Structure 1
Amino acid sequence: MKALPLATSGLNRATFVGCGRAYRRLCRALAGLSAILVSSALVLSDSSAFETPESPQGTTGTPSYPNLAPTPPMGWNSWLYYGCDVTEKAVLENARALVRSGLAARGYNTVTIDECWMTTKRDRAGDLVANPVKFPHGMPFVARRLHEMGLKFGIYADAGTTTCTKKFPGSVGHFQQDANLFARWGVDYLKLDGCHVPIAPSETKEETFHDVYRQMSQALLNTGRPIVFSVSAPAYFQYDGDSVWRKVIGWSSDIGNLWRSGRDIASERAAPAAKWPSIKYNFDYNSLLADMQKPGRWNDPDFLLAGNSGLTTEEIQSQMALWSVMAAPLISGTDLTKLSPAAFDVLSNREVIAVDQDRLGIQGRIVDKGAGFAVLSKPLANGDRAVALFNSGETERAITTSARAVGLPAARSYLLKDLVTDRVGRVGGTFSARVAPHATKLFRVRALSY
């Protein structure tokens, strides 16, 4: 999703050109005919990728989208830094930087081309077309190069009539065609935005969004290729009331693997003074959604700003720690070819990444909160707890919590490891740390039996 005010993002009543309730019988018939026509042209991947008996059941009672992201996705996306200046050269240079730096080996393995990659019109066959100036070798070439590097290929589309900049064609009315095209290109990850979705006359905004996103979800399944599906719908309902917002998140977890939960984070082009408040704002709304997330289904508070100008080391460490304790996707949005040593250290921290990627897949919860601070606790697979002490204020402060408060069992003492400094200590039932302004201390805490 791009940073457009929801009131002006094109979500006005219009004749709906997708398959709303009033159109479903006709659309089912057309979809069946389309499937027959395209089936001979599709090259299907191993269908075993879709045999996911352990996938969670969704809130609607229907089978969920396959669990293609058992841990939060990690990687790089072009939007924050490049915006509409994205090119094949920039994408491949950043991909090589992921591999060369070792970040890919630590989990950052998906490279996603965001908006502005396509031409302003579809071709005569109705297919989306990569901009030949920006991507002179085409998207299959980019996919091959990324796959040769051991990386996955992500791409952007929009569920409406046009993309968020209003310059490029949306996918409404073309969901199966676009899904088939992406599968042929070798796409592994789709981010589907929600700008300019025309609302069906007989439906609410929420019902229409559910319709169009469900259509793309099914279209991706029909291709036979395992494509991680990132749903942007909840971001368009953040201000529509908590019950509606949560309803949208609920069905997003049925039809996709992760979802943009709210407002966009600040881009590289934003004023430096806007970036820290943006991180804090996105943390605030996402931290309220722990009950909506489940293993394999991820709340996404948007990209990591490590490497962007206008942030201190404490601030980028804070975002990395908070996103990790919330089990959020870790997707870099900077120019990795110019990554500073400090930003690299933040992004590559194995211990912090391990908290994010813990196989229990549980989002950490706020266990204590006050003016200018919060304490979060996340259970880990080995019985430890990840504990974050977040100082959102403007002055240094001591933040105190207890083993009981963070959910640890009673014990004579606890092993406390600072995941940024690697310092290890032994503490009693209560522990405290002095935390700099805008900083977060992230600890792994273990109950000791001796």
Structure 2
Amino acid sequence: MSRALFTATALAAASLCAASPAAAKTAFDGVWLFDKAPPMPGVTMMEVRSKGAKIEGHVTTLWYGPIEMMNPRIQDGRLLFEARNINDRDHPTRPWSVSLDKGQAHLKGRIWASEVDTQGYRGTTKDAKARTFRFTALPPLGQPIPGKLATTPPMGWSSWNKFAEHIDDRTVRAMADAMVSTGLRDAGYLYINIDDGWQGKRDANDMLQPNEKFPDMKALTAYVHSKGLKIGIYSSQGPRTCAGYEGSYGHVAQDAKSFADWGFDYLKYDLCSGEWFYADADRVKRSYHEMGAALQATGRDILFSLCEYGRFDVGSWGRDVGGQLWRTTGDITDDYETMTKIGFDKNGNPAHAGPHGWNDPDMLEIGNGGMSAAEYRTHMTLWAMSAAPLMMGHDLRETSAETLALLTNRRVIAVDQDARGVQGKAVRKQGALEVWAKPLADGRVALALFNRGAESASLELTAADAGFSSVTQVEDLWSGATAAILPTSYTVPAHGAVMIAVKGQ
């Protein structure tokens, strides 16, 4: 929404409040209230006014505030209009309709993933005032925020891939216990991150409270810290999170202080419904800077994870708004096609990655069961070569020996965590085969050979792939085997990967 349109919508909201049933010029004019609309997008009110043949109006929602009626007109006894449909390039607008029956307004429409099919009744000017969406001003973009955290890509666990919004205090504690008992903590995985679904309502002072699944946040963070781990939390700059819970819109500094007071060490900040309000690069940057500055003002070290799906070349400004990692893509799912599309093609510009700032192709799916052993090895190899954050997403209590071996291989983790902080990239492609290189701090170069095809295939790796004229040592990073020279060729299974480190000159 442009600034002019945003302002116009706000003014329209205010002026429509003056409408009353008595002043109606069409049967649809006036205030209509909705009490039983689904929570997504949370329709609360519709306001319509007409002057001659011109009709104006909007639908107020909890998620997106006022949704302007585009091209409103009356046809066959119904009020028809279009609404902007965020985040859907194939359907930038969606049709909506209103029909009247026995004094009730039947509103139907769709926005993004939300279907609206609900009945409303006439309201008053007083009702409209009570339900009018309250906009909040977005501060100007401040000075770059210096970063001192995440010298290497963060490692840990996040609740979303396995539990979605069905997460609770007991499960978080169990994940912390399992992180320790499995040896994952000692392998470098430190963060236990609560994703969406923890939020309750705001109290009389507008302080956001956790819901009944999280009875005591301070006690929970203390428990996780007692295990030698750190703990993260989740929010959105919009009025609602992706799962429909309370966001930080209008309460950014307040929520940052709460996160710090509770003892959190990490915040994932997800654009979600905020993309309705912050739909261009300038406002998206400002919305992340607002939270980045608020986190810094708390005085607590809180890792800041930007989740805006790779829009507006986020890697070029992520550090400036206080971010230590930034998503480069949409959500991962537990299948080879999505994982490889993200990992090979949507993993961000390598020039943007390095100490204190990392391209984030999303969480690991290893252990969730949707891919083969070879595909999960590709997943781990690709994320390590990309210097990506390693955030597990399975139930840690159900970690098989095979999964644990993939996730705790010290040689592979060392490539991801290498102090030089270089993001690897493809140096050679031959059909379905790709060779990637990643220079390491000790002078060696990690090489990965990926087979993206459906059949086993062979390829020779050369000293030139690593930028050397000759190779003096080879280490297989998955098996630990060493050799003085490269073999004639490597045979890689379908959807599999080979990963080595070479020393040379």
Structure 1 and Structure 2 fold alike (TM over 0.5):
yes
Give the aligned partner of residue 221 of structure 2.
143
Aligned identity (percent) is: 35
- Contact preservation (8 Å) 1:158, 1:192: yes
- Contact preservation (8 Å) 2:144, 2:319: no
Query: Which stretch of the first structure deviates more once superposed, 364-373 or 138-147?
Result: 364-373
- Superposed counterparts of 1:323-342, under 5 Å: 323-342=383-402
Give, in angstroms, the shift of residue 281 of structure 1: 1.1
What secondary structure sits across from 2:346 in the alignment? helix
Aligned length: 381
Instruction: Give me the whole-angstrom Cα distance separating, in 2, the residues matched to 1:337 and 1:231.
Output: 28
- Superposed counterparts of 1:10-409, under 5 Å: 17-20=135-138, 24=140, 62-119=143-200, 121-132=201-212, 134-136=213-215, 138-166=216-244, 168-197=245-274, 205-233=280-308, 235=309, 237=311, 245-246=312-313, 248-255=314-321, 256-266=323-333, 275-287=335-347, 289-408=349-468
TM-score, scaled to structure 1: 0.80
Instruction: Give me the whole-angstrom Cα distance separating, in 2, the residues matched to 1:174 and 1:431.
Output: 61
For structure 1, the 5+ residue unaligned runs are: 25-59, 238-244, 268-274
Give, in angstroms, the shift of residue 19 of structure 1: 3.4
- Contact preservation (8 Å) 2:450, 2:497: yes
Between Structure 1 and Structure 2, the one with more strand by share is: 2
What secondary structure sits across from 1:405 in the alignment? helix
What secondary structure sits across from 1:187 in the alignment? coil
Instruction: Give me the whole-angstrom Cα distance separating, in 1, the residues matched to 2:498 and 2:326.
Output: 27
Give the aligned partner of residue 438 of structure 1.
495
Instruction: Give me the whole-angstrom Cα distance separating, in 2, the residues matched to 1:285 and 1:155.
Output: 28
For structure 2, the 5+ residue unaligned runs are: 1-84, 89-110, 115-131
Give, in angstroms, the shift of residue 65 of structure 1: 3.5
- Contact preservation (8 Å) 2:326, 2:360: yes
What secondary structure sits across from 2:224 in the alignment? helix
Give, in angstroms, the shift of residue 426 of structure 1: 2.2
Instruction: Give me the whole-angstrom Cα distance separating, in 1, the residues matched to 2:476 and 2:348.
Output: 25
Instruction: Give me the whole-angstrom Cα distance separating, in 1, the residues matched to 2:394 and 2:363.
Output: 9
Distance 1:171 1:345, change over 3 A: same
Q: Which has the higher contact order (CA 8 A, sep 6+)?
A: 1
- Contact preservation (8 Å) 1:71, 1:295: yes
Give, in angstroms, the shift of residue 198 of structure 1: 5.6
What letter is aligned with 1:175?
V
CA offsets 1:129-169 (integer angstroms, 9 cap, x no match): 1112x223x21111000010010010000111100122x11
- Contact preservation (8 Å) 2:348, 2:359: no
- Contact preservation (8 Å) 1:18, 1:212: no
What letter is aligned with 1:219?
A
Instruction: Give me the whole-angstrom Cα distance separating, in 1, the residues matched to 2:134 and 2:380.
Output: 41
RMSD: 2.4
Instruction: Give me the whole-angstrom Cα distance separating, in 2, the residues matched to 1:19 and 1:236.
Output: 24
What secondary structure sits across from 1:427 in the alignment? coil
- Contact preservation (8 Å) 1:76, 1:331: yes
- Contact preservation (8 Å) 1:65, 1:217: no
Instruction: Give me the whole-angstrom Cα distance separating, in 1, the residues matched to 2:219 and 2:459.
Output: 51
CA offsets 1:267-292 (integer angstroms, 9 cap, x no match): 5xxxxxxx111211111233452122
CA offsets 1:172-200 (integer angstroms, 9 cap, x no match): 21110000000000010000000111655
Query: Which stretch of the first structure deviates more once superposed, 257-266 or 365-374?
Result: 365-374
Give the aligned partner of residue 421 of structure 1.
479
Instruction: Give me the whole-angstrom Cα distance separating, in 1, the residues matched to 2:346 and 2:472.
Output: 29
Instruction: Give me the whole-angstrom Cα distance separating, in 2, the residues matched to 1:386 and 1:331.
Output: 21
Instruction: Give me the whole-angstrom Cα distance separating, in 2, the residues matched to 1:366 and 1:260.
Output: 20
Give, in angstroms, the shift of residue 17 of structure 1: 3.2
Give, in angstroms, the shift of residue 251 of structure 1: 1.4
- Contact preservation (8 Å) 2:146, 2:320: yes
Give, in angstroms, the shift of residue 346 of structure 1: 0.2
What secondary structure sits across from 1:416 in the alignment? strand
CA offsets 1:372-417 (integer angstroms, 9 cap, x no match): 2211100000100010101111100012232123223x23x43111
Query: Which stretch of the first structure deviates more once superposed, 83-92 or 147-156?
Result: 83-92
Distance 1:427 1:139, change over 3 A: same
- Contact preservation (8 Å) 2:325, 2:357: yes
TM-score, scaled to structure 2: 0.72
- Contact preservation (8 Å) 1:306, 1:343: yes
Distance 1:420 1:322, change over 3 A: same
Instruction: Give me the whole-angstrom Cα distance separating, in 2, the residues matched to 1:71 and 1:18.
Output: 36
Larger radius of gyration: 2
- Contact preservation (8 Å) 1:160, 1:198: yes
- Contact preservation (8 Å) 2:329, 2:347: no
Instruction: Give me the whole-angstrom Cα distance separating, in 2, the residues matched to 1:372 and 1:387.
Output: 17
Instruction: Give me the whole-angstrom Cα distance separating, in 2, the residues matched to 1:129 and 1:61.
Output: 29
What letter is aligned with 1:319?
H
Between Structure 1 and Structure 2, the one with more helix by share is: 1
Instruction: Give me the whole-angstrom Cα distance separating, in 1, the residues matched to 2:165 and 2:396.
Output: 17
Instruction: Give me the whole-angstrom Cα distance separating, in 2, the residues matched to 1:221 and 1:128.
Output: 19
- Contact preservation (8 Å) 2:268, 2:304: yes
Give, in angstroms, the shift of residue 225 of structure 1: 0.4
Distance 1:414 1:171, change over 3 A: same
